Homo-oligomer: A and B are copies of this chain.
Amino acid sequence: MSERLVIIGGDAAGMSAASQARRLKGPDELEIVAFERGHFTSYSACGIPYWVGGDVEERDELIARSPEEHRERAIDLRMRTEVFRIDTAEQRVHARDLEKAAKGEKDAEYAVPYDKLVIATGARPLRPPLPGIDAPGVHGVQTLDDGQALLDTLERTRGERAVVVGAGYIGVEMAEAMKKRGYEVTVVNRGEQPMATLDPDMGRLVGEAMSGMGIRMVNDAEVTKILTTEDGRVRAVATEDAEYPADVVILGIGVRPETDLARKAGLPLGTHGGLLTDQAMRVRGHENIWAGGDCVEVLDLVAGTERHIALGTHANKHGQIIGANAGGGYATFPGVVGTAVSKVCDLEIARTGLREKDAKAAGFQYVTTTIESTSRAGYYPGAALMTVKMLAERRTGRLLGLQIVGREGAGKRVDIAAVALTAGMTVDQMTALDLGYAPPFSPVWDPVLVAARKAVTAVRAAG
């Protein structure tokens, strides 16, 4: 007898799960029904800043697989259809066809029973309830629909000044994008430094570099309202102390797991509001419900606690694993070490593992060390300075975290530490790592090795 797999959410996690399950089981064994409330499936939200900035010409380049392509693989994909209730007792979901509902058609709502359920509802951008926040010209950049709305605004109104609210990775990437479009860009940031995913001493380097690129950085500043013109369009962003004129405002202040549905269904949520799953990405306590992507919390393998990380690469992994399990196979997701890399113009920013405050919160005692080195041999053309900060546990010398701020060739070096963290290596073990060396690729001591050597000394000195 055929089973039915129902999937809520048609982006990376949901549709990877659908594809992987389909690979394992044909339509005669497994019916797959997927709901997506937006207009697009399987797209790269991470690519939106580069589309807005003009590096990517066409929206469709960001779409890995269209609804039609999914349907060709025998996936019953229902676009513009929102699931508004999960009934775990009856094993069914209640859905609303948004087009029909808009026209007031009475068969817009219906229920679909499931044998297996996947929740991949993603995240929603934080949107503080400020006066003016809903004015035309204020944009989030979370979904492809959001990106399209922003580009429509930019094409309709000729502006000169953009204010980006928030200086996390979306904020800095959007600052670059708007600068590329010829805007004067101001970034208004609540924190003392941009990139709160780094320690402040490393974030400061990012802020200095961005200022050097002609991006105006306003730190320690809380937005109090969005000011509008008489006809209601955005004209400025106000903080307690100042006003920053803006023809367009971009919100990049982070996201929260989209788990209203799950909460109403009584499914277990963590302290960050994300669904809690087991090793197989199954919702804890629910044999036949899986969840993945931006709506779940993941185990931080270094801190030993759950975190919420909205990142396409995790969502894709989750989807694969869920699809394998829901399709009768077996796969697990052990957790993350918190790796992230981003760039703003030619500045590369990377981090993995714990920041100082994470290490403290996790109960670690630690040492830190910060070094400067270059991406290539010093004498080789294009050798660019980079700063590397390393955290290691006191006594054991176990690597706890790494942060990098540099130029070309800096960012992906974080992978060395990501693998070392996964393996539980000590900084002493890291000094012996056999990393790729040739003058166009690295100094004879790779910057990560230089940091590890200095960290060994710091661990020893701390006793």
Q: Which residues of A contact B (CB under 8 A)?
A: 12, 44, 46-47, 50, 55-56, 61-62, 169, 311-314, 316-317, 332-334, 336-343, 348, 350, 352, 377-381, 409, 411-416, 418-420, 422-423, 425, 429, 431-442, 444-446
Contacts and interface: CB of A to CB of B under 8 A. Distances in A.
Nearest to A350: B436
Nearest to A351: B436
A433 B412 CA distance: 13
Among A333, A336, A348, A433, chain B packs the most CB atoms within 10 A around the CB of A433
A438 B341 contact: yes
Contact of A416 (B352, B416, B442, B444): B416
Q: How many copies does the complex hold?
A: 2
Nearest to A375: B412
B313 A432 contact: no
A418 B433 contact: yes
Given A341-B436, A439-B47, A313 B423 contact: no
A442 B414 CA distance: 13
A348 B414 CA distance: 20
A379 B12 CA distance: 16
A194 to B, nearest CB: 16
Contacts of A317: 431-432
B435 A418 contact: yes
A44 B423 CA distance: 32
Nearest to A321: B432
A316 B44 contact: no
A50 B343 contact: no
Contacts of A352: 434, 436
Contacts of A377: 44, 46-47
A103 to B, nearest CB: 35
A33 to B, nearest CB: 25
Q: What 3 pairs between A and B have smallest CB-CB spacing? A: A423-B423, A341-B436, A313-B437
Nearest to A316: B444
Contacts of A378: 61
B337 A434 contact: yes
Nearest to A409: B412
A441 B415 CA distance: 11
Contact of A442 (B412, B440, B444): B412
A439 B340 contact: no
A433 B419 contact: yes
A304 to B, nearest CB: 15
Contacts of A432: 317, 332-334, 422
